[in-house]
């Protein structure tokens, strides 16, 4: 059995992995949070799960825009990025678009 997750990594301006504050992933169609905001421990510091097969039912088959936001822990800078992720009655969630890495200035 396969379990799919869509992750994003946060980095500082020097490319170092960064544990962020106030992480959120919100489906713009439903205005519902689809992520717990916890770090994805398998990949290490700075990796967060945007969506996974457990949240598939919160997403449409065609794909929804999911806005990810987080705050740099020391500078307070807020970064956002928009992902398009499908789910619904598909077997797994799928990243249609969206960055692999979000870098703070």
How confident is the model over 73-95, as pLDDT tens digits? 999 999 999 999 999 888 899 99
Tokens of 8: 């994003």
pLDDT at 69 over 80: yes
Give domain 5-103's CATH number out of 3.30.750, 3.40.5, 2.60.40, 1.10.10: 2.60.40
pLDDT at 61 over 90: yes
pLDDT of residue 45: 87
pLDDT of residue 90: 83
CA 59 to chain centre: 13
Q: Could you read off the pLDDT of 10-39 as tens digits, one per residue?
A: 999 999 999 999 999 999 999 999 976 666
Tokens of 12: 């500082």
Cα separation, 26 vs 29, whole angstroms: 9
For the chain, the average pLDDT equals 92
Burial class (CB in 10 A: 0-12, 13-18, 19+), 102: buried
CA 52 to chain centre: 9
pLDDT of residue 16: 95
Domain residue spans of the chain: 5-103
pLDDT at 1 over 90: no
User: What pTM did the predictor assign?
Assistant: 0.91
Q: What percent of the chain has pLDDT over 70?
A: 92
Q: What is the 3-state secondary structure (H, E, C) of 30-55?
A: CCEECCCCCECCCCCCCEEEEEEHHH
């Amino acid at each position: 059995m396969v379990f799919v997750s869509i992750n994003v990594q946060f980095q500082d301006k020097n490319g170092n992995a960064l544990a962020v504050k106030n992480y959120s992933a919100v489906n713009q169609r439903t205005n519902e949070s689809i992520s717990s905001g916890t770090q994805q421990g398998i990949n290490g510091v700075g990796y967060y799960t945007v969506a996974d097969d457990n949240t598939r039912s919160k997403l449409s088959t065609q794909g929804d825009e999911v806005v990810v936001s987080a705050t740099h822990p020391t500078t307070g800078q807020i970064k956002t990025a928009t992902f398009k992720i499908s789910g619904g009655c598909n077997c797994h969630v799928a990243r249609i678009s969206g960055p692999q890495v979000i870098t703070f200035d």
